[in-house]
Amino acid sequence: MIDAPRVELWAILPVLMLFGGGLIALLASGFARRAAQAPFALFTLAALAAAAASALWLWNRETTTALEGMVSIDRLAVVATLALCGIGAFGAYLGFHYFERDDFRRNEFYALLLFALGGMALLVAAADLIVVFLAVEVLSLALYVMTALTFRRGPTEAAMKYFLLGAFASAFLLYGVAMSYGASATTSVQGLARALTGVGGSQPLALVGALLLVVGLGFKVSLVPFHMWTPDVYQGAPSPVTAFMSAATKVAVFVAMVRVLDVAFGSLAWDLAPAIAVLSAGSMILGSVLAIAQRDVKRMLAYSSVAQAGFILSSFVSPEREGIAAALFYLISYSAAVVGAFGVVMLISGGIREQTGFERFRGLGRRQPVLAALLSVFLLSLAGIPPTAGFVAKVLVFGAATSAGYWPLVLIGALASVAGAFFYLRVIALMAMQEPRGVDIADPSPLPRLVLAVPAVTVVVLGIVPGVIVPLLQEAGVLTW
C-alpha cells in the first residue's frame, strides 16, 4: 500500500480559485458561444476577487512549504498574487471593452485569462522545478491562444511566432531542469541550490542546468539575447492582451526568478551576479536604443519593456531583502504604467483593426485631452521622471545595485534612462505640440477613461508617498524555506 500524500489544498487556494473559475468560464463559453459577454466579465472579476481574498488569508500562515514541498507559502507569493489579480482585473475589463466595441463575441477570452493567471499564481509559489515548468507552460499556452484570439492575420502570425519561439525556449528550460535533476537527484529548487554549492551532487552539471533555467525564464520576460519575439508579439496581439501579458508575465516570471536566484544561487551570488549584470546591462542598452528607432507606439512600448526588464533585473545582483523589495516595487509601478499605457493605446487605435502608428497620436492633446493626459502620466512613469512611481522604482533598484557594489551597472542604467526619456517624451511632444491630422477614430466612451484613471492615480500616489507599500514589500522580501 502506498501512503496517500498529504493534500494541503488550502495552500494553493488562490490558484484553485483561478483555475476553477477558468473551468466554469470555459464550460459556459462552450454552451453560450454567442451570448453577451458582460456576465463572463463579471464572473471573471468575481473569481479574481475570490483569489485575491484567499491570497490575503495566506498572509499570516506559519507553514513554509506544502504539498510535499511542491509549493512554498510566503508573503512574496501573496504580494505577487495580489498584484496579478489586480492586473487581471484590468485585463478583463479592457478585453471586455475591446470585444464589446466591435461586437466581437469571443467568450473564451475570460477562461483563457483565468487559466493564464492561475498558471502565474502557481509560478510565483513554485518551489519545485516540475511546478515551475507546468506553471510556465500553462501561462504560456493560454497567452499563445489569447494572442491569436481575434482570428485576424496579424495577431495570428504574432501568435505563431510567439508559440514557436516560446516552445523553443521552454525546451531549453526543460534541458536545464533535466541537468539539475541529474546533478542533485531531486527536482526541488533547494536541491539545485545544494548541488550548486557542491554539497549534494555534481557542481558543473548543476551550473549548466541553472544557466539553461535562466535562459528559459529570461525568454519569458524578454531579456536581451532572448527578446526577438517581443516587438512582433506586442504589436501583433490585441491591445488588451498585450496590456495583460506585458505586465502579468513580468510579475510572475520575475518573482519565480527571485525564488530560483535567491535560493539556488544565494550561496554563489558572487559567481552568478556578473552574468546577471551582463544580461541586465544588455537589455537596458539595446531596449532603449532600439525603442528610439520605432514609429509605432505598441512596438516602441515593446522595446521599452525589454529595457524595463533590464532595470528590474539590475536589482537581482544584490540578493538582499532590499533587492527583492526594490524589484517588487518596480514590478508594481511598471505594471500599473504599462497596463494603463496599452489601455490608452487601445482606446486611441480605433477598434480591432488597430492603427497604432505615431500619426494617430499627432495632436491628440487637442482632440482627446483626457486620453493624452493619461498616456502622458504613464509614459512619464515608464521614463522614470520624478512625481511618478517609475522614478522611485528606479531609485530603489539602482540603490540595491549600488549597495552590492555594481556601480558600473547603475551608470549604464542611468544612461539608458536618459536615452529612454527621449523616446517617451517624443510621444508626449507629438501629442501636445503637433497639429492633428486625419479623422479622429478614438473611442469616445467615458467608462474606460474612468477605469484607466485608477492606474494613473496609483502611479502618482506611489510616486509621491511610496511609503504606503514599501514596508509591506520589505516584509514580503523574505523567502521561507
Partner 1 sequence: MIRLPLVLMFSALLFSAGVYGVLARRNAVMVLMAIELMLNAVNVNLVAFSSSLHQMSGQVFALFIIAVAAAEVGIGLAIVILLFRTRESINVDEVNLLKW
Partner 2 sequence: MLTEYLPIVAMAVLAVAFGVASLVVSRMFRPHRPNPVKLSPYECGNDPVRLPRGERFSVKFYVVAMLFIIFDIEIIFLFPWAVRFRQLGLFGLVEMAFFIGLVFVAYIYVWRAGGLDWATSVEAPADADLASDSPRDPMAAADEELAAAMHDAEVAGAR
Judged by the rule CB under 8 A, the positions of this chain that interact with partner 2 are: 1-2, 4, 23, 26-27, 29-31, 33, 103-105, 150-154, 353
Whole-angstrom Cα distance, residue 424 to residue 434? 16
Least distance from partner 1 to the Cβ atom of residue 137, Å: 5
Kindly state whether residue 164 participates in binding partner 1, applying the rule CB under 8 A. yes
Q: Which residue has the cell 511542491?
A: 70
145 binds, among partner 2, partner 1, none (CB under 5 to 8 A by kind): partner 1
Cα 354 off chain centre by? 23
Residues sharing a CB contact under 8 Å with residue 408, sequence separation 6 or more, in sequence order: none
Kindly state whether residue 177 participates in binding partner 1, applying the rule CB under 8 A. yes
Closer to partner 1 by CB, 194 or 449: give it.
Answer: 194
Least distance from partner 2 to the Cβ atom of residue 6, Å: 11
Sequential DSSP letters for 127-169? -BHHHHHHHHHHHHHHHHHHHTTT--HHHHHHHHHHHHHHHHH
137 binds, among partner 2, partner 1, none (CB under 5 to 8 A by kind): partner 1
Closer to partner 1 by CB, 45 or 159: give it.
Answer: 159
144 binds, among partner 1, partner 2, none (CB under 5 to 8 A by kind): partner 1
Binding range to partner 1, per CB under 8 A, among 49-57, 160-168, 343-351, 382-390: 160-168
Among 35, 36, 167, 429, binds partner 1 (CB under 8 A): 167
29 binds, among partner 2, partner 1, none (CB under 5 to 8 A by kind): partner 2
295 binds, among partner 1, partner 2, none (CB under 5 to 8 A by kind): none
163 binds, among partner 1, partner 2, none (CB under 5 to 8 A by kind): partner 1
Residues sharing a CB contact under 8 Å with residue 237, sequence separation 6 or more, in sequence order: 146, 147, 155, 158, 159, 162, 245
CB 235 within 8 A of CB 152: no
Residues 197-236 binding partner 1 (CB under 8 A) are: 228
Whole-angstrom Cα distance, residue 39 to residue 130? 35
CB 209 within 8 A of CB 176: yes
Sequential DSSP letters for 341-373? HHHHHHHHTTSSS---BGGGGTTHHHH-HHHHH
Residues sharing a CB contact under 8 Å with residue 139, sequence separation 6 or more, in sequence order: 115, 116, 117, 119, 120, 123, 249, 252
Question: C-alpha cell of 481?
Answer: 524555506
Binding range to partner 1, per CB under 8 A, among 85-93, 178-186, 240-248, 288-296: 178-186
Question: CA triplet 279, 281, 286: central angle to 5 degrees?
Answer: 95
Name residue 66's beta-bridge partners: 71
Closer to partner 1 by CB, 26 or 160: give it.
Answer: 160
199 binds, among partner 1, partner 2, none (CB under 5 to 8 A by kind): none
How many residues would you count in the chain?
481
Least distance from partner 2 to the Cβ atom of residue 26, Å: 5
Whole-angstrom Cα distance, residue 366 to residue 362? 9
Least distance from partner 1 to the Cβ atom of residue 161, Å: 7
Binding range to partner 1, per CB under 8 A, among 81-89, 179-187, 412-420, 467-475: 179-187
3-state secondary structure of 227: coil
Whole-angstrom Cα distance, residue 460 to residue 41? 28
Kindly state whether residue 3 participates in binding partner 1, applying the rule CB under 8 A. no
Closer to partner 2 by CB, 104 or 175: give it.
Answer: 104
Closer to partner 1 by CB, 86 or 236: give it.
Answer: 236
Closer to partner 2 by CB, 142 or 256: give it.
Answer: 142
Helix axis angle for 75-101 and 446-464, nearest 10°, is 150
Q: Tell me which DSSP letter residue 237 carries.
A: S
Question: C-alpha cell of 468?
Answer: 504606503
Residues 125-154 binding partner 1 (CB under 8 A) are: 130, 133-134, 137, 141, 144-145, 148, 151-153
Residues sharing a CB contact under 8 Å with residue 30, sequence separation 6 or more, in sequence order: none
Least distance from partner 1 to the Cβ atom of residue 135, Å: 11
Question: CA triplet 133, 147, 276: central angle to 5 degrees?
Answer: 45
Kindly state whether residue 168 participates in binding partner 1, applying the rule CB under 8 A. yes
Closer to partner 1 by CB, 157 or 320: give it.
Answer: 157
Whole-angstrom Cα distance, residue 134 to residue 122? 9
Least distance from partner 1 to the Cβ atom of residue 133, Å: 7
3-state secondary structure of 24: helix
Residues 180-199 binding partner 1 (CB under 8 A) are: 181-182, 185-187
Least distance from partner 1 to the Cβ atom of residue 72, Å: 18
Closer to partner 2 by CB, 154 or 436: give it.
Answer: 154
Kindly state whether residue 174 participates in binding partner 1, applying the rule CB under 8 A. yes
Q: Which residues bind partner 1 (CB under 8 A)?
A: 130, 133-134, 137, 141, 144-145, 148, 151-153, 156-157, 159-161, 163-165, 167-168, 171, 174-175, 177-179, 181-182, 185-187, 228
